[in-house]
Amino acid sequence: MENPIFHPFMFLYQLLQLLLDNILSAPAEGATLDRPKIAIIGAGLTGVSAATHCVGHGFDVRIFEAGPREQLGGIWSRAKNTSDLHIHSLMYRFRPSVQWNGGYPNSQQIVSQITELWKRYKLEDKTKFNTKVERVYRYGKGRWIINNITEGYFEGVIVAVGACGENRVPLIPGQENFKGERYHSSDLTGKEAKEKTVIVIGDGASAVEALEFAAHEEASKIYILSRSDKWIIPRNVIADIVLALNIFDGETILAWIPEILLRKFFYRDIEDLASTHQRPFTDTPMINSGVMNKIRSGQAEWLHGDVKGFTEEGIRFNQRSKGVPKGGPGREYLIKGDIVVMATGYERPSLNFLTADNFRDPYQPPNWYLQAFPPSHPTICCNNCTYLNAIGTAGNWHTGIYTRILLMFLSDPLPSPRPYWMELWIDTTCTLKKLAPKGAFDFVAYLELVWWLAFYIVLNPSRWKWAFFVLFGVDIGLPRVVEAKDELGYWMGGMRNKNSYDIDNRF
């Protein structure tokens, strides 16, 4: 614990974390796993977090991870050692028992917390590494098979493959001719850039991390070559929470309010860097305040345009004027450099191992129920892997809520909605957000996500008794399974009988 005199805010934050752990953490010791068994695909942050929620509430699990043991922690296990959390850790509380020692933990600290959870809930024997999931299909009514029958039967499936898969490395003309060093942004650990010119191709979080690496290594000059106009927002816990709790999404006439504030009080004298093509709440922003200081000091230059190709000395770049779209006319010239960092992100992991009826048009991800449940099968939860753009919706409180919604579905048929109601919710949300610059589910601020989950509980009286369990993980007095069903639950979205979809005799 920090000294309360010298670090009062951090002391209070650590005290709050201890209270959350003692009050809301499901027990790790002596849990009786007599509830339905669940398959979890992925051993990253979301997969391990979901598994601890399941085991803590009496549900047995089996985790399938395509990579080796060294990839426990998912994308964070592959991030360079100096990578740290861009948002404040207050917004990255994927488990009540997580204990952060600072506001912006690095990748090693995050993997350490994930590993601690994995061991605390005795998930070592429940995890199969080097096991790629290629097929998920139903066996009879309500049970799922992963790959083949030898893996056993599962009543529920949590897909936790994340949004970052293999490194995305586009082929750029002439790259084999470049005489300098060329790396993907995830491969910078141990590399040196002192007194060298670093060219970063890309934007988003990867570009910010590459810039921080180059600055830390005392590079003489840094160029960021950005094709799109992404917004940059301050790395400030209060500002980020306010933006994440924004109720004026891009589809409202009041979306200009946060835009004006960012331009005048954050961008200030370099307002020309702000996007002219889209408003802040249409794409995932970059979160970093140091970028602005490095640009103002001349250490870094942020250039909008198109990469035309490599030469022996650097990059041929077509710099576009403000407002000119991608591929438009500009001034083409050579940018010389010693190191080129491909901050081009990651391929999105495929969900094709799920059966085809999960992808019926127009109900394809992200247009799913609560953005996580395919209408055809509410016993499948795609947790943290279907969102496109968001603020604050990566590894926070909702990770456990989605998991516990699935656990509720598996324990009580009344709260589980029929496909008709799930599709109606999707259609209604699309109608309410028809003025959104992109699709209705293409951008989600955290307040909207919380509203979805709270409204989901309030809407159906059969879910009221589950409210504290779903929202906070408190399951005192709840039944192990529910056998009785009534007509109210049916009309409010429950299931009529045990011959309904995704229902097995366990109910």
Q: Tokens in use for 375?
A: 């209408």
**What are the structure tokens assigned to 483, written together?**
């056998």
Interval 24-57: pLDDT, tens: 887 776 567 778 899 999 999 999 999 999 999 9
Q: What is the pLDDT of residue 296?
A: 94
- Among 307, 342, 377, the domain-final residue is 342
Number of domains in the chain: 2
Question: What pLDDT, on a 0 to 100 scale, did the predictor assign at position 483?
Answer: 52
pLDDT band at 249 (very low <50, low <70, confident <90, very high): low
Same domain, yes or no: 66 and 185: no
Rounded-to-integer distance, Cα 350 and Cα 66, Å: 13
Rounded mean pLDDT of the chain? 88
Answer whether residue 501 shows pLDDT above 60.
Answer: no
Residue where a domain terminates, one of 342, 370, 399: 342
Tell me the chain's radius of gyration from C-alpha atoms. Answer: 24
Q: Do 353 and 337 reside in the same domain of the chain?
A: no
Pair 17, 153 in one domain: yes
CB contact at 8 A, 170 and 161: no
- 91-101 average pLDDT score: 91
Say if residue 226 is in the same domain as residue 269: yes
Q: Specify whether the CB–CB gap between 422 and 377 falls below 8 A.
A: no
Q: Report the pLDDT value the prediction gives residue 438, as an integer from 0 to 100.
A: 78
191 has pLDDT over 70: yes
325 or 69: which carries more pLDDT confidence? 69
89 found inside a domain: yes
Per-residue confidence (pLDDT) for residue 333, from 0 to 100:
97
Do 12 and 161 lie in one domain? The reply is yes
By residue range, what is the domain housing residue 460?
A: 8-165+348-491
What is the reported pTM? 0.91
Give the whole-angstrom CA distance, residue 343 versus residue 222: 13
Residue 496: what pLDDT? 41
**Could you give the count of Cα atoms lying within 13 Å of 350 in the half-sphere of its Cβ?**
11
Reply yes or no on whether the pLDDT at 105 is more than 80: yes
Whether 497 is in a domain gets the answer: no
DSSP states along 59-100: EEEEEE-SS-GGGTBTHHHHS-TT-B-SS-GGG--SSTT---
pLDDT of residue 485: 45
Within this chain, do residues 111 and 191 fall inside the same structural domain, yes or no? no
What CATH number has the domain bearing residue 56?
3.50.50.60
507 found inside a domain: no
Asked if residue 2 belongs to a domain, the reply is no
**C-alpha dihedral, 321 to 322 to 326 to 329, nearest 10°:** -20
Q: What was the pLDDT predicted at 497?
A: 43
Long-range contact pairs involving 379-382 (C-beta distance under 8 Å, separation at least 24): 379/142, 379/144, 379/155, 379/156, 379/157, 379/406, 379/409, 379/410, 379/502, 380/136, 380/144, 380/156, 380/157, 380/159, 380/354, 381/156, 381/157, 381/158, 381/159, 381/405, 381/406, 382/159, 382/351
Q: Could you tell me if 245 and 297 lie in one domain?
A: yes
Q: In whole angstroms, what is the distance from residue 394 CA to residue 440 CA?
A: 18
155 & 17 share domain: yes
**Lowest-pLDDT range of 27-41, 83-97, 291-305, 356-370:** 27-41
Percent of the chain residues past pLDDT 90, beyond the cut: 59
Does residue 145 or residue 491 have the better pLDDT? 145
Confidence of residue 488 (pLDDT cuts 50, 70, 90): very low
**Residues 325 and 355 placed together within one structural domain of the fold:** no
What HEC string does 387-425 produce?
Answer: CCEEECCCCCCHHHHHHHHHHHHHHCCCCCCCHHHHHHH
Max mean pLDDT among 31-40, 311-320, 483-492 falls in 311-320
Of 400, 395, 399, the residue nearest 25 (C-alpha): 400
Average pLDDT score over residue span 417-433: 92
31, part of any domain: yes
- Distance, in Å, from the CA atom of 355 to the CA atom of 409, rounded to the nearest integer, reads 20
Domain-embedded: residue 502? no
Residues 334 and 220 occupy one common structural domain: yes
For tokens 């529920």, what's the residue? 156
In a domain, 499, yes or no: no
Same domain, 152 and 12: yes
Of 316, 342, 368, which closes a domain?
342
Shared domain for 160 and 245, answered yes or no, is no
In this structure, is the dihedral angle defined by the CA atoms of residues 127, 129, 131 and 133, taken in order, positive or negative?
positive
Q: How confident is the model at residue 489 (pLDDT cuts 50, 70, 90)?
A: very low
pLDDT by residue (tens digit) across 339-391?
A: 999 999 999 999 999 999 999 999 999 999 999 999 999 999 999 999 888 88
